[in-house]
Amino acid sequence: METIKVSFPGGQKVSAHMRGFEIKTDQPLTAGGENSAPTPFEYFLSSLATCAGIYVLNFFLERELSTEGLEVAADYSRNPETKLVENYDIRIKLPKDFPEKYKSAVIRTAELCTVKKHLQTAPKITVKAG
């Protein structure tokens, strides 16, 4: 089992430590934070977009395609009542010289993202104290 350790450096800041990296989070000013880093939820949302992005990037690199003009973006909307995200759309802006024959393949590649797969088959999450 792998471990992520969490520390509390002050104020509303919370940091995760894994693989020798520190992932800093904070809350917006309106929530009592200093707005010095993304919130944990913003990291969660961006992890899906960046995961799709690395799959798309590798697709291009493996085929020696130019990444000039390549962009991956994500739009999301929340349910007004629950405030939970109910739509998350990943958009791949392809370079103008991108071969049409690869269009459906690059979409399928982005859909292989591990974060997406985990959301579709959610892990069991337990919370313990002691």
How many whole angstroms separate alpha carbon 80 and alpha carbon 58? 36
| Region 79-97 average pLDDT | 97
What is the chain's percent helix, strand, coil content, to nearest 5? 35, 25, 40
pTM: 0.90
The H or E element containing residue 13 is: strand 13-18
Is the predicted pLDDT of residue 69 greater than 90, yes or no? yes
| pLDDT of 90 strictly over 90 | yes
pLDDT grade, residue 8 (50/70/90)? very high
Q: Report how far residue 26's alpha carbon sits from residue 13's, in angstroms, rounded to the nearest whole number.
A: 4
Nearest to 101 by CA among 39, 73, 45, 59: 59
